[in-house]
Amino acid sequence: MPVLTTACPRNCYSTCGMRVVVENGRLRALAAHPGNRATGHGLCLKGLSYIERVYDPARLLHPLIRAAGGDLRRATWDEALDLIAGRLVAARAAHGPRTVAYVTGSGTKGLLNSCGGAFWRLFGGCTTTYGDLCWPAGLEATRLTLGENAHNAPWDLVNARLIVLWGKNPAETNIHQMDFVRQAQAAGARLIVIDPRRTESAEGADLLVQLAPGTDGALALGIANVLVARGLVDREFTRDHVHGYEEFAAMLRRWPPERAAAVADVPVATIAHLAEELGGRRPATICAGFGMQRFTNSGQTMRAIIALLALTGNIGRPGAGWVYANLQTHLWSHPKDPLGFFPPATPDGVTRATLSIARLGHDLPAQRDPPVTVAWIERGNPLPQCPDAPSVRAALRALDFRVVIDQFLTDTAREADVVLPAKTMFEQTDILNAYWHPYIQLKQKVIEPPGEVKPESEVYRLLAGRLGLPPAETSLALPGPADADVEAWLARKLAPFPALTLERLREGPVLSPEFREIAFDDLRFPTPSGRIELLSAQAARRWRVAPLPDWTEPVEWSRRADRDPRFPYHLLTPNTKDRIHSQFGNLPSVRALAPAPLARLHPGDAARLGLAEGDQVRVFNDRGAIEVAVRLDGGLRPGCVCVTNGYWLAEGGAVNLLTAARETDLAHGAAFHDVAVGLERAT
C-alpha cells in the first residue's frame, strides 16, 4: 500500500508533517512524519480524525442553490456557475467590480490560496479585508521591536533555563512545544505560566501567575522597573544592541512594582520574583501566545513584554528569545507586511481593501462608491468567528447575493445563496509554510475529491471562462484542471529556491532557505536604528501609540469602579484542544468529548449567583446572549467566565454573539478578550 508524504494545512502552530496510507483510493491510516523534527512525535486528535472528516456523511459533495422557497437544494455545477456568473456580471454592470466583497478566513494554508486574489483582479477588482482575526498586534509589536518575526528553532527550547509561557496554552494549542518544555524541565529549567486560567500547560509549572486579564503590559513594566532598580539589566547588551534604553528606564520610574501589582492584581512579591528569575536565570525564553494580544492595548503590551528580553540580553542566543511567530518559511509574502495590515492596500488601484476584518459586520454596510452588494466567502466561517456576530449576520443578510465555499454547511454557508463544496487537504497538492517550525512542506493530493467536489482553483478557472476573462492571463494566474497543471504551477513558485523541488518535498519536510537555528544570532536587527527598538518612532507615526511601550486600560473591561455595573464579569474565549476554531466540532468522535459549550466559573462566583455545576447560565451583555451549562473551575481567576470559541450559532454557544467589533491598537487585530458580561440563571 502506498505511503505518501503530506502535511496538515490548518492554521495551527504545529503544521504537522504527515504520512498517509492509501488503499484502493481511500485513506486508511495517518501518522506523524518523522522528517519534521518539531512535530515528528505524533499527531493530535484532530489530525487523527481526518479520515472521519473526509468521509463524514455531512460533508458537502455537490453545489447547493437557494430555491425560491428559501431552502438550499442540490444543483449541478453548470447551474451554480451560470447563476454566479450572471449575478456577478449584473452586479459589476450596475456598480463596478468593487461591489463584490471577497472575504477569506484561515481555513487552510497553501500557495494556491492566491488564486482567488488573482481571479478577482482579472474580474476588474473587488473589495476585500485588511487586518487579521488572529495575531497581528503581536506580529507588528515584534516587527517594530526586533525588525522581523523570526525565532529560534522549536527544539532549541530545550536549552532554556527559564521558560515563560505568557498568555499561551501549548498543551492545547501547540502540543509539540510541550515536549520541548518538558525536556527542558527535565534538564533543570524552570517553567512560569502567566494566564488568568490554570491551564493544562500550567500543570507541572513552578509558578502560575493569574493576573487580571488585559493587564500584562502593566505587569511587564513593573518587572522592568525592578530589573533596572536592582541592577539586573545586562548593561553591555543594552548599550550595544538596544535603542531607547535610557528613555525606557526613565519612563519606568512611573511603574513601581506596587503600581503594577495593583493594576494586575498580583502580589508585589510576585513581581519581584519574576524580575529575579528573568534577571538571574539565563538563558530565558518567553513563549508568548495570543491571549493577551486580543485586547485594545495589546500591541503596546507585547512591546512591553519583549522589552524584558532586551533588558536581560536574552535575544540571539541558544535557549533565549521571543517565541511568538517564526516566519522563516514565509518566502512568498511581502516580508515587511505579511498580512497586508496597512489600508488601503490598493497599490494597483484594482482591489480595494477597506473592510476591517475585526469590524466586518459594521464595515460591509458602510461601503460607498460602490456599495457592497455581493459577498464571496471561502476558507472561513466569519459568522461565528468574527467579533459581534449579530452585526455580521445582519450585514450578510442585507446583501443581494452570497457565495460560500466550504466543506460543511457551516453557520456562514447557511446564509448563502450558492454553496460550493470544498476540497479537503487530501484532494489537491499544495505547498505549505508554517509559523512555528522552519519547514516547507508538500501537502499532496492522495485521493480524488469525492462526489462532485472541485478545488477553488478549478472553480475560478471555470468561472473565468464563463465571464470571458482574458484566456492568456487566466491560464498564467490559475492552474489548469489536471494534477500535472497544478504541479507545474507550484514548480514555478519553487523555481527561485533551488533547494526546494517537488521531488525533495515529496520525500518529506525541507528546511526553509531562510532557516536560522538561532534567530538574530548576528545581533543585527532590521529596524530603522539597526538595534532592538524600545523607543520606536515608527510605532508612534504609524499607529499613534506612545513611542515607548506603555499600558492603557482595556476599553471595555476595566477594574475601574465606574464600569458598567450590569456586566461585572470578564469573558475569556480561548481556543481548545480537540477543535480548531469552528472546525472538527461537527465530527461525532470530537463532539463526544465536548458535546456542548460550557461556561467555566470560579466556584465562589457560582455560589454567589446561586449556580451549581450543570445549571444553565445566561451570559449576556448589550450585544447578545448565550445560554450554556455551568462548569465549576477552581483554577479560573475569580471574576472571569470562560467559554471556548468555535461552537456554531446552530449549536447555541457562539461566543462572538457577545464580543465587540473592536480593533487592537496595532495592526488591526480583533480585541476578542476585551469583553464585559453579566451572568444570571437561565430561565
Ligand X SMILES: Nc1nc2c(c(=O)[nH]1)N[C@H]1C(S)=C(S)[C@@H](COP(=O)(O)OP(=O)(O)OC[C@H]3O[C@@H](n4cnc5c(=O)[nH]c(N)nc54)[C@H](O)[C@@H]3O)O[C@H]1N2
Q: Is position 47 an interface residue for ligand X (rule: CB under 6 A)? A: no
Cα–Cα nearest to 168, from 126, 209, 199, 130: 199
137 binds Mo ion (CB under 5 A): no
Selected range binding ligand X among 90-98, 226-234, 457-465, 570-578, rule: CB under 6 A: 570-578
Are the C-beta atoms of residues 663 and 388 closer than 8 Å to each other?
no
User: Least distance to ligand X from the beta carbon of 320, Å?
Assistant: 20
Q: Is 410 in the site for ligand X (CB under 6 A)?
A: yes
- Applying CB under 6 A, does 556 fall inside the site for ligand X? no
The yes or no reply on residue 128 touching ligand X (CB under 6 A) is: no
Residue 388 touches which of ligand X, Mo ion, none (Cβ within 5-8 Å per kind): none
**406 interacts with ligand X by CB under 6 A:** yes
Q: Does 298 bind ligand X (CB under 6 A)?
A: no
Residue 199 is a binding residue for ligand X (CB under 6 A): yes
Residues 383-402 close enough to bind ligand X by CB under 6 A: 385
CA distances from 449 to 27, 46, 412, 446 (A): 12, 20, 22, 9
Least Cβ distance, residue 135 to Mo ion (angstroms): 6
CB of 65 to ligand X, least distance (A): 17
Grid coordinates given for 658: 457577545
Using alpha carbons, list the distances in angstroms from residue 553 to 251, 295, 296, 300, 548.
18, 9, 8, 11, 16
Q: Is 386 in the site for Mo ion (CB under 5 A)?
A: no
* Contact with ligand X (CB under 6 A) among 119, 120, 255, 290: 290
586 binds ligand X (CB under 6 A): no
Neighbouring residues of 245: CB distance < 8 A, sequence distance ≥ 6: 238, 239, 310, 311, 534
* Binding-site member from 27, 60, 65, 134 for Mo ion (CB under 5 A): 134
Q: Of 136, 196, 313, 319, which lies in the binding site for ligand X, with binding defined by CB under 6 A?
A: 196
Choose between 134 and 226: whose C-beta lies nearer to ligand X. Answer: 134
Please say which residue, 156 or 674, places its beta carbon nearer to ligand X. Answer: 674
User: 3-state class of 630 per DSSP?
Assistant: strand
C-beta of 9 vs 147, nearer to Mo ion? 9
Closest contact distance (angstroms) between CB of 533 and ligand X is 23
Residue 134 vs 419, nearer CB to Mo ion: 134
* Residues forming beta bridges with residue 681, ordered by sequence position: 617
Report, in Å, the least distance between residue 383 CB and ligand X: 9
**Given the complex with ligand X, which of 242 and 655 has the nearer CB atom?**
655
Residue 175 C-beta: closest distance to ligand X, Å? 8
Q: Out of ligand X, Mo ion, none, which partner does residue 13 contact, by CB within 5 to 8 A per kind?
A: ligand X
Residue 177 binds ligand X (CB under 6 A): no
Q: 339 or 399, CB closer to ligand X?
A: 339
Return the number of the residue (134 or 642) whose C-beta is nearest Mo ion.
134
Contact 573, 643 (CB under 8 A): yes
- The binder of 639, among Mo ion, ligand X, none, by C-beta within 5 to 8 A per type, is none
Contact 428, 115 (CB under 8 A): no
Pair type for strands 64-66 and 72-74: antiparallel
Q: Which of 130, 237, 408, 525 binds ligand X (CB under 6 A)?
A: 408
Query: Judged by CB under 5 A, how many residues of this single chain contact Mo ion?
Result: 1
Residue from 399, 418, 460 nearest 123 by CA? 460
Q: CB–CB of 410/581 below 8 Å?
A: no
DSSP 8-class letter at 336: T
Question: How many other C-beta atoms lie within 10 A of the C-beta of residue 254?
Answer: 11
Q: How far is the CB of 169 from Mo ion (least distance, A)?
A: 13
- From candidates 140, 148, 179, 195, binder to ligand X by CB under 6 A: 195
Using DSSP, state whether 367 is helix, strand or coil: coil
292 binds Mo ion (CB under 5 A): no
Look at the alpha carbons of 471, 475, 478, 484 in this order and tell me if their dihedral is positive or negative.
positive
Residue 650 CB burial class (10 angstroms; 0-12, 13-18, ≥19):
middle
Instruction: State yes or no: residue 59 binds ligand X (CB under 6 A).
Output: no
580 binds ligand X (CB under 6 A): yes
Angstrom distance (rounded) from CA 515 to CA 495:
18
C-alpha–C-alpha distance, residues 673 and 679, integer Å: 17
Residue 291 touches which member of ligand X, Mo ion, none, C-beta under 5-8 Å by kind: ligand X
Alpha-carbon distance of 610 to 629, in angstroms, equals 14
Torsion of CA 397, 402, 403, 404, to 10 degrees: -10
12 binds Mo ion (CB under 5 A): no
Using CA atoms, how far residue 45 sits from 20, 385, 577, in Å, is 15, 22, 8
Using CB under 6 A, pick the residue from 379, 437, 531, 668 that binds ligand X: 379
Which one among 105, 116, 257, 340 touches ligand X, defined by CB under 6 A? 105
Number of residues binding to ligand X, judged by CB under 6 A: 60
For residues 7 and 443, is the Cβ–Cβ distance under 8 A?
A: yes
d(CA 479, CA 147): 35
Does position 238 interact with ligand X (CB under 6 A)? The reply is no
CA distance 386 to 362: 11
Contact between 437 and ligand X per CB under 6 A: no
Return the H-helix or E-strand segment holding 203: none
Taking the C-alpha atoms of residue 192 and residue 277, their distance in angstroms, rounded to an integer, is 10
Residues near Mo ion (CB under 5 A) are 134
Residues near ligand X (CB under 6 A) are 11-13, 105-108, 133-135, 166-169, 172-174, 194-197, 199, 213-214, 216, 289-292, 378-382, 385, 405-408, 410, 422-423, 456, 572-577, 579-583, 645, 655-656, 659, 672-673
